[in-house]
Structure 1
Amino acid sequence: MSGKKKWRLAGWLVGLGLLAAGTAQAQTVLPDEQVSEWMACLSKGEEALVYPEQYRATKSGGFVRVKLSFEHADRRPTVEVLSRALPEGMLDLVRSYLKQYRLPCLPAGKTAVAVQEFSFSPYGPQDVSWSAARGVSDLKSEKARSCLRTPPDRVRPSWGFDLASRVKQKNYGNLLLRLRFETADGPPQVKVVYDSAPANFRQSVLDYVGKYRMPCLAAGDEPITAEQQFHIDNTGKGRVTVLKDLDLLQFLGAIKDLDKQTANFDLNTMACPFQLQWVAGMPIEKNRVGEVGERNLNRIELLAWLSGLSLNVPAETMEQLLGQSMLISVPCGEVKLGE
């Protein structure tokens, strides 16, 4: 198979270790929420994309991944081919089909970028299949990091000192907050995404983040949304279970219900080998998955798939791992599951 690896995975055990830690917190700037809103109004026209009859006799198939750039609400997108393995005639059909696309809710002066994949196969249940046009967000991470102002002191939970109150408290807890900054001098809007923390810890954190400011936001700027997770360890042992860096094969072997997953990824089209940073969020919310080094739009679907996988660990262990990150080393080859 020209040196390509094809993986069909059984169960592996996740590599976990121990690391000294106390109360921890992590903050992540979220993608621009408007990108998803814009893509939700995508109009695809009425012309269907069908398998071309001239290729049926030769049983020809193929795959193409494209980048779509929308600059006007009432005009078709600019199409850039990111990766392809199909005859020119099939590519012409895809290009013709994409000419119908419009993004009617795109504001004037804005640009939206998306990635979409198309597959042609005379052997599958569908002759032609394609993924959703997945919007590519422009993260405002650098601006937020340099701009965000936090209180000079640390979070100081008001613990109960009597034995009874200490016994009732959980060993581990997490408070996950979504912060939305709309003005330069005002506090963020705070939404509690997940809460398994003691009440006295929770209020101390809410008071603390209420003092955050984003002074570089000018009038008319789009809001900046971030998530921050606060983790509490009430064991007194000063040690928590942490994630280790893994290669992709080991990582997938540690996933819950892997045998129920369906996936088909050609890593050779993604500038392999490469590394990803994976931040545990499931089942509370989707995992955060980012690229180490230069961004490559050919990896969009792989990252989206990895964001929805859950580790095969007990709920109490997941409370310790929530928000922790690991490096996943991705080699060349193919990943095929559920076939």
Structure 2
Amino acid sequence: MRHHAAIALTLLAMLASGAARAQAVATQEPTAAQRCLTVLPGAPGDQPVYPFEPFKRGKAGKVLVELRFTSADLRPALEILSHEGGSTFVEAVRDHVQHLRVPCLEAREGPSTVRFDYVFRPEADRPVQSEQRERMPPDSTGMGCPFNVSFTARQPELPNHVVQRDNWRAERQPFMAWLRALKLEGPTRLLDAVYGDTTHFQVPCYKIESTPSTNKE
């Protein structure tokens, strides 16, 4: 989405310019599913098993899912949001997520959700990879906008460190979750240079109108 890319590019430019490097400030902790997602011992691996027939034929696939954890010792509820390449990839992901747990989830926190994009590429060094996915909220007008945010780049090793610098508001949590999962794109040397750097910016009032897609034959 172009709005997603524009914000990511702006953040990268701000970090690279050193416009606002800052001391560490009090953090808003990531959700339990972001903090301690764990694969159980005895699972086939830390990623889904590539289905044999598609792998043999060099066929790629992708499965976007949302996982909802309600207890530290229970498997997540799984929702398939989209998929490409056929049902065998979906079943591979379905089998894999049965082995996922969030051991740090406490009852007082309530359910914890996280999105992953499982990507199957037979020619890659790592044929199966998963990337955490969050959608940029399309509307900030209910979040008490404009509001100020502190952003520290830590992806892909860790969730980005993000802080509401105004009075904390629960309505902003979807936007903050999206920022935690945001992966900046650019030359490797530049990304290495800005890793761990902090910038401050103001989130404006915005509302992204959805436009129906049209297919032309």
Is structure 2 residue 99 aligned with structure 1 residue 100?
yes
Matched position secondary structure for 1:324: strand
Q: Which runs of 5+ in 2 are unaligned?
A: 11-26, 141-145, 154-159, 165-171, 187-198, 212-217
Q: Deviations over 1:1-55 (max 9, x none)?
A: xxx99xx99xx99xxxxxxxxxxxxxxxx86x3724x643322122222322211
> For the residues of structure 2 that align with 1:50 and 1:40, how far apart are their CA atoms?
24
Is structure 2 residue 127 aligned with structure 1 residue 127?
yes
> For the residues of structure 2 that align with 1:278 and 1:62, how far apart are their CA atoms?
39
CA shift in 2, pair 1:53/1:301, >3 Å? farther
Matched position secondary structure for 1:63: strand
Q: Which has the higher strand share?
A: 1
Q: Deviations over 1:106-129 (max 9, x none)?
A: 223632111112000112222111
Matched position secondary structure for 2:31: helix
Q: Which amino acid aligns with 1:126?
A: R
Is structure 2 residue 181 aligned with structure 1 residue 304?
yes
> For the residues of structure 1 that align with 2:123 and 2:147, how far apart are their CA atoms?
35
Partner of 2:50: 51
> For the residues of structure 1 that align with 2:179 and 2:152, how far apart are their CA atoms?
19
CA shift in 2, pair 1:94/1:306, >3 Å? closer
Residues 1-339 of structure 1: pairs in structure 2 closer than 5 A: 33=29, 35-36=31-32, 39-45=34-40, 46-48=43-45, 49-108=48-107, 110-132=110-132, 274=138, 281-282=150-151, 304-305=181-182, 322-326=200-204, 327=206
Matched position secondary structure for 1:90: helix
> For the residues of structure 2 that align with 1:306 and 1:330, how far apart are their CA atoms?
24
> For the residues of structure 2 that align with 1:50 and 1:120, how far apart are their CA atoms?
10
Q: Deviations over 1:299-321 (max 9, x none)?
A: x7687326899xxxxxxxxxxx9
CA shift in 2, pair 1:306/1:50, >3 Å? closer
> For the residues of structure 1 that align with 2:151 and 2:209, how far apart are their CA atoms?
21
Q: Which amino acid aligns with 1:305?
A: L
Answer whether contact 1:282 1:308 (CA < 8 A) is retained.
Answer: no
> For the residues of structure 1 that align with 2:66 and 2:121, how far apart are their CA atoms?
22
Q: Which amino acid aligns with 2:202?
A: Q
Q: Which has the higher helix share?
A: 2
Q: Which runs of 5+ in 1 are unaligned?
A: 14-29, 137-269, 290-294, 310-320, 333-339
TM-score where L is the length of structure 1: 0.35
Q: State the identity %.
A: 22
Structure of greater Rg: 1
Q: Which amino acid aligns with 1:71?
A: T
Aligned length: 154
TM-score where L is the length of structure 2: 0.51
